[in-house]
Chains A and B, each alone.
Chain A
Amino acid sequence: MNAGRRDNDQPLLSVRNLAVTFQLRGQHAAKAVDDVSFDIRAGQHVGLVGESGSGKSVTSLAIMGLLPRRGVRVSGEVMFDGTNLLSKSRGEMSALRGRDISMVFQDPMTSLNPVIPIGIQVAEIIQRHFNASKSAALERTEELLARVGIPDPRRRLGEYPHQLSGGMRQRVLIAMALACEPRLLIADEPTTALDVTIQAQVLEVLKKLVADTDAALLMITHDLGIVAGLCDTVNVMYAGRVVESATRERLFAQPQHPYTGGLLESIPKLDSPRGAPLRPIPGSPTQVLPWSEGCAFAPRCGNRTEECTARTPDLDPAGDRHLRCFNPLSRTAAEARR
């Protein structure tokens, strides 16, 4: 369906200066996403990482057009296949969701409707977007369930979510998201809610199906291990902005933003001595519009200089990557060597 429409000059998805502000009546406006820009090319796997509250989920909901209309202000541009999704009507977005862009959510225990058999939940997506008959849709559902590794799929068609384990449910959700072979799949921490052993299996299923359908993938996670195993390029988010984006190899080999460096250092390494302390990033994300004066990461940053609190850095090209930092790690390293 999507083969042959590859256009390598133009990214499939191009997010430009996306900002989301929550303005609830009688409350202060809260900026959840401040200035997010990144690209995804057809078939590419892109990671979006950052700690809790950095605005990853809000970014994905804004792309999908799933934020409530009331009390939320979205600005910027979300270009998909040459059109701006932010200016599409509700009906247009609904027709596009599930067919061209799909999403897998974090919690498989609550993301399936408890009163509808899983077979119907998958089949109705196929019926909706392909105008298929119910029996044809169910037939295809059965094959999809088999593909995501659900044993005895025909019997499972009529089962309810509570009859399935968490791992099984997440497989069903993956089958739902990829049922219509979308060109872009957004996965918002798809394995966080699962047991570690199940996580690896489900991730494998997701990887295989995404590869089989040639879908592009936006993987939202705070697990850098997942990024290392899956993504071509990585965007690191902090307090509602992208602070560094680079290919996986470059990012892991040489993180430049002090925040990225901190993220990488906070993962335990196999070759470090047992009992060696982990190195968490000190402090916690600040709340009030942290980018309005200086760099939002400055209060927690080891490389901070006066400039960092005086001016706000932009996301600029810096060699092999984009970076939002006045004093990147490599420079300090270079200066330290001198």
Chain B
Amino acid sequence: MSINLPPISDVPAAETAVMPGEGPGGGLWRGAWRRLRRNPTAIMGAAIIAFFVLVAVFAPLLAPYEPGSAQWSGDVTPTTVPGPDDDHLLGLDRFGSDLYTQLLFGARQSLVYGVVSTAIGLSVGALLGVLAGGLGGWVDTAVMRAVDIMLSVPSLLLAVSIAAVLGQNAYSIMIAIGAAQVPIFARLLRGSMLAQGRTDYVLAANALGIRRRRIVMGHMLPNAIGPTIVQATLNLATAIIEVAALSFLGLGSSDPAVAEWGRMLVAAQDRFEAAPRLALLPGTAIAVTALGFTLFGEALREALDPRNRR
């Protein structure tokens, strides 16, 4: 060995060395976190998300009444819904529950539905996308055929079938909505992965014998994941609304008065003229939550690229 370096086995472990990251890719996430903290967009998005999460967690403490109680249903007539007064900060909803209470508890349901179903769609879709785009060949062909079949089934039909198999409960709704998102994520990530496969640095890594698994997971995925993350944050808002659509079909809880933004929005339709707040308030809650996730997702995508120095 003519490089005047000590043979590798004799090299002492470098206790004092400044390690540029924990595991492979660790440096990336650490750097991303640093850039995220300095990005006002990220902070605003995170603040909005944190606000709704806190509301969801502490709903029982914040709410003056029980959710979905419909205990003032006698005060609701076919043409009027009582507005705000001393007992009810935001008035009643059309079933006779306290609207403020319903909104607070709605944060719970909607956030959980949105986050869990998107997480299901993202993890399954991303896994398929990485396999297809990272390994190529027959794996790619097989995965993409499966995804095409999923796409050819209307998502509502898919959801109904899943609910029929799993029973009428919250899990089947989340799985159904998640399943409908799988093809979106799978195709998006596959496309980015394929593009990564043609880059010079992947060729260079191959030329130096880096293992296939490491190239796919460590070199290609971090560069390809950005658009998928942004898509996930966009899907979150859609998922919250889809929950409403599915419960409208009677796939969720059978109780129409249950506190959940999407469902409240749908239920408010026939009273829109008399009491627009019934639609506006849950609608705003969904929009602001979606905005929070979108801001955060966009900032995360930027932060994952070390070239964007902040």
Task: Give the B-binding residues of A (Cβ under 8 A).
Answer: 1, 3, 64, 66, 94-99, 102-103, 105, 107, 110-117, 119-120, 124-126, 128-130, 132-140, 142-144, 147, 154-155, 157-158, 160, 162, 173, 176-178, 181, 209, 212-214
Contact = CB atoms under 8 A, between A and B. Distances in A.
30 contacts: A3-B1, A3-B2, A94-B206, A94-B211, A98-B208, A103-B208, A105-B204, A107-B200, A111-B200, A111-B201, A112-B204, A113-B223, A115-B223, A116-B25, A116-B27, A124-B210, A125-B208, A128-B214, A130-B8, A135-B14, A135-B19, A139-B11, A139-B12, A140-B8, A147-B3, A157-B20, A158-B19, A158-B27, A176-B208, A181-B1
A158 B19 CA distance: 7
A1 B5 contact: no
B28 interface: yes
A212 B2 contact: yes
B310 interface: no
Contacts of B27: 116-117, 120, 158
Interface stretch (B127-135, B159-167, B301-309): B301-309
A64 B207 contact: yes
Interface string B1-18: 111110010011111011
Contacts, number: 146
A184 B308 CA distance: 37
B219 interface: yes
Given A110-B201, A133-B13, A66 B21 contact: no
A105 B307 CA distance: 22
Contacts of A120: 20-21, 24, 27
Contact of A110 (B4, B11, B199, B208): B199
Contact of B306 (A94, A95, A143, A162): A162
Nearest to B207: A103
A130 B28 CA distance: 24
B209 A129 contact: yes
Interface string B129-155: 000000000000000000000000000
B24 A135 contact: no
A64 B207 CA distance: 7
A136 B62 CA distance: 56
Nearest to A159: B20
A133 B12 CA distance: 10
B297 to A, nearest CB: 18
Interface of B: 1-5, 8, 11-15, 17-21, 24-25, 27-28, 31, 199-201, 203-212, 214, 218-219, 222-223, 304-307
Contacts of A134: 19
Given A102-B208, A177-B208, A114 B21 contact: no
B8 to A, nearest CB: 5
Contacts of B31: 160
Contacts of A143: 5
Contact of B13 (A130, A135, A173): A135
Given A102-B208, A139-B11, A177-B208, 9 more contacts: A66-B206, A98-B207, A105-B204, A110-B199, A114-B201, A116-B25, A116-B219, A136-B8, A212-B4
A92 B140 CA distance: 24
B95 to A, nearest CB: 51
A114 B14 contact: no
B47 to A, nearest CB: 27
Nearest to A186: B207
A96 B21 CA distance: 28
A177 B209 CA distance: 10
Contacts of A138: 14, 17, 19-20
B20 A105 contact: no
A113 B307 contact: no
A105 B201 CA distance: 10
B211 A66 contact: no
Given A105-B204, A139-B17, A124 B8 contact: no
Contacts of B2: 3, 181, 212-214
Given A107-B200, A130-B8, A160-B307, A154 B17 contact: yes
A158 B204 contact: no
A116 B28 contact: yes
B214 A124 contact: yes
Contact of A96 (B19, B24, B209, B305): B209
Contact of B210 (A125, A130, A144, A173): A125
Contacts of A103: 204, 207-208
Contacts of B17: 135, 138-139, 142, 154, 157
A94 B204 contact: no
A114 B207 contact: no
**Which of B4, B20, B218 neighbours the largest number of chain A CB atoms within 10 Å of its CB?**
B20
Nearest to A70: B137
Nearest to A118: B20
A214 B207 CA distance: 20
Contacts of B5: 140, 143-144
A155 B14 CA distance: 14
